Amino acid sequence: MSQKTILIVDDEEEVLFSLGLVLRRAGYTVLEAGHGIEALSVMAEAVRTGQGIDLVITDLRMPYMDGPELVAAMHRGGFTPNVMVMTGYAHDALAAEWQCKGCPKIIYKPFEAVELLREVAGVLAGPPVCVAMMDA
């Protein structure tokens, strides 16, 4: 596997740590941000230093800037990596709206490390896509 860089965006430190640990052990380079605004800053720094970001794994609901707002801001800035979405709100209107905007696949958290790695590998192997990962 070539070295791929994944940005994890979540306001829960435990999620950042757990996902980061799993992905680093699998050989990925991992960047982290606690919310969407911080993620945009991390992306800008990655662009400035010539480091690409192959995948953004973001929570759906976060303070300051949520997942959909982050994805919209990325696209406005011309940044279109693969995106995976996680949320603790499986049955709300925002999750349903997100599905309608091109994220039809839902994977419920908590998910196993092997499931995460399988989804990440599948997303990175194809063209840019959005995959929704959701809590029950």
What was the pLDDT predicted at 119? Answer: 85
What digits encode the pLDDT tens for the residues 60-72? 888 999 888 888 8
Q: Say if CB 81 and CB 74 are below 8 A apart.
A: yes
**The listed CATH number (1.10.132.50, 3.40.50.2300, 3.90.15.10, 3.40.50.410) that belongs to domain 5-135:** 3.40.50.2300
What was the pLDDT predicted at 104? Answer: 46
Q: Say if CB 35 and CB 62 are below 8 A apart.
A: yes
Rounded to an integer, what distance in angstroms lies between the CA atom of residue 129 and that of residue 136? 23
pLDDT, mean of each 10-residue run, the chain (136 residues)? 87 94 97 95 92 89 87 85 76 61 60 89 79 57
What was the pLDDT predicted at 136? Answer: 42
Hey, where are the domains in the chain? 5-135
